[in-house]
Structure 1
Amino acid sequence: MRIGEFKNDQAGARYRAVYEQTLADLWPGPRTALDIPTSFGTTRVYRTGPPTGEPIVLLPGSGGNALMWHRYVEVLARHRPVLAVDTIGEPGASVQTTPLADGRDGAAWLNELLAALEVTAGHAVGCSYGGWLALNHQIHRPGRIASLTLVDSAGFADPGRRFYAWMIAGGLAAMAPRQLRPGLARLVGNSAILESGLMGLVRVSMGFRRALPPARVLSDEELRSLRVPALFLLGERSALHDSREVAERLGRLVPSARAEIVPGTGHALPTDRPALVAERILETAGR
């Protein structure tokens, strides 16, 4: 098993320079950067918002980091402390030293992180792969999270041709001239490519070798073990799974869960409907 790391020192230096500039340009208001040691490596967390209260913990999707939540931080921090995480093994400011073999390891990493941050009843928000990690944590290491908001979470279908075609089309569209991107975003169904402030970071992340375990489909038994209130926000046209099938399965297996299919959205739900997603996060956390 490998760890996530940059291909060489030059790729790492290029990435860090763009990362720091992007952080300075996009992050709203004050923040405290924390580097938390875990048995899987050092995890970077940005803390903002009020000094007390149970925090909202933000976990990004695959290939992303805390900066994907930059549009959310200010509104969420008006109500609760916010902990925005650079997931171990993803391109960002975290440094992985030990491989993660599976979802249990992902749960162990997140539990160590929450324990070090003294989170005892936090509100986890996970997008795509981050949702899968949050679900595995609740399945294998429950006790530190009081609610879940999962934004088109992975873990309900193996990525197929449709998903990989969506990713490739989005990547190609992101390299087009800026004036062409709005039309291409509509064509390929990926509003994330309109995040112009993050595009430079996406480009230099190509120098990073990601080595995290695939988001294995969760079993019925695992889903039945979920006990905390959970909101599953699903993109109506998600390229990752059939959202109606996911909603029906959750309705059968998870009494504590509510599934909401968001019309006119896809897997890029956080950029398709940011105001709605922020509102649902706060509702689930009890503001």
Structure 2
Amino acid sequence: MVEFPESNVGPKFKGKRVGYFRETAGYRRYAQAYQDGFEQLPPVRETIDVPTSFGVVRAYRFGDGDTTPLVLLPGRQASTPLWAANLPGLMAVRPVITLDLLGEPGLSVQSKRLTDDADQATWLSEALAELESRPVHVLGVSIGGWSAVNLAVRHPERVASLITLDAPFVFGAMTWKMIVISLGSVLPGMPEKWRNSLLSWISGGVSAPQDMPEGRLIASGMKDFAAYLPMTNRISREQLSALAQPYLGIFAGRSIVHNSRKLADRARKLVPGGQFEVWPDASHAINGEYPDEIAARVAKFLGEIGPAED
């Protein structure tokens, strides 16, 4: 069973500029979807609520061993249950820590307004410092990939290596189509038919994602949660050129987020020591489409940059 914290629920949080569930019924709907999705995950070794300057961050440990863990950061409107397809393969590589992003739908509870990219990196750095004394390997999908890079450029001491899956705002801006979809996803009055179309895109073309725990989780996050996050800014050329951590970046060839081939070329120029690939048949939902291939590629990458016992 999931240990549910006391979350921000109700209109009393509206003026505080922190993420909250709009009403009790919506929170219950989200909590049930979270529980149903969580039951599809491998056994959790430990559940931790980590205090930070901006709120309490929900984290989970999966797998055994004392090697440097792999930390997973989800995309927008997503949380730990969305890693169901990925956890078994990645746990075979090394221990895994998942976080629910602060200010997004999930079980992290925001208490202070996030005003800029530096704040976004601060809470994540503080959470990781409590969870692990050593630098960790960080894997992020979509906006979680941006969060990983934003952390690395501002708190490099926390990051042993970077892995990003179709991350926006790192090597280029988003397409107009993605901007429209992103704006639409946060409209509380969006017709259900339109919301399901967005869910189908997020879920890699599944025809009825609302019938799956993952789809219900994202649908409830869109409908029932109000986020007050700062504008996401593109990582600068200077910041990217200064990255010293080993970096594996995978772009989805069918992504509507950006021109993947163009961005991969730019990434190779800005971070010449990195490894950047385009998977031609992948969509922006790459982590759910290619879990086994991602686990194998992560294992190869981490094996190349350091010993297994690190």
When the two structures are superposed, what TM-score results if normalisation uses the length of structure 2? 0.82
| Partner residue in 1 for 2:85 | 71
| Partner residue in 1 for 2:12 | none
* 2:217 is the alignment partner of 1:201: yes
Deviation at 1:60, TM superposition (A): 0.1
CA contact (8 A) 2:57 2:102 kept: yes
| Partner residue in 2 for 1:261 | 278
Match of 1:175 among 196, 212, 217: 196
Deviation at 1:132, TM superposition (A): 0.7
| Partner residue in 1 for 2:31 | 16
Listed as ranges, the matches of 1:1-287 within 5 Å are 2-24=17-39, 26-155=40-169, 156-164=171-179, 172=193, 175=196, 191=204, 193=206, 196-205=212-221, 206-286=223-303
1:28 alignment partner, SS class: coil
Report the number of matched residues: 277
CA contact (8 A) 2:44 2:60 kept: no
Which has the higher mean CA deviation after the structures are superposed, 263-272 or 91-100? 263-272
Q: Counterpart amino acid of 1:89?
A: G
1:22 alignment partner, SS class: helix
CA contact (8 A) 2:49 2:56 kept: yes
1:233 alignment partner, SS class: strand
1:282 alignment partner, SS class: helix
Q: Partners of 1:225 and 1:162 in 2: how far apart?
A: 31
CA contact (8 A) 1:89 1:212 kept: yes
Q: Counterpart amino acid of 1:39?
A: S
CA contact (8 A) 1:251 1:258 kept: yes
Deviation at 1:57, TM superposition (A): 0.1
Q: Partners of 1:279 and 1:215 in 2: how far apart?
A: 31
Compute the RMSD of aligned alpha carbons: 2.5
Q: Counterpart amino acid of 2:30?
A: Y
CA contact (8 A) 1:33 1:45 kept: yes
CA contact (8 A) 2:85 2:288 kept: no
CA contact (8 A) 2:204 2:284 kept: no
Deviation at 1:165, TM superposition (A): 5.3
2:132 alignment partner, SS class: coil
Which has the higher mean CA deviation after the structures are superposed, 61-70 or 98-107? 98-107
CA contact (8 A) 1:148 1:284 kept: no
Q: Partners of 1:268 and 1:18 in 2: how far apart?
A: 19
Q: Partners of 1:158 and 1:2 in 2: how far apart?
A: 26
2:156 alignment partner, SS class: coil
2:263 alignment partner, SS class: helix
Which has the higher mean CA deviation after the structures are superposed, 205-214 or 141-150? 205-214
Give deviations 1:93-134, integer Å, cap 9, x for gaps: 110011222221111111101100024131100011111111
1:108 alignment partner, SS class: helix
Q: Which runs of 5+ in 2 are unaligned?
A: 1-15, 186-191
Which has the higher mean CA deviation after the structures are superposed, 261-270 or 131-140? 261-270
CA contact (8 A) 1:45 1:85 kept: yes
2:87 alignment partner, SS class: helix
1:33 alignment partner, SS class: strand
2:231 alignment partner, SS class: coil
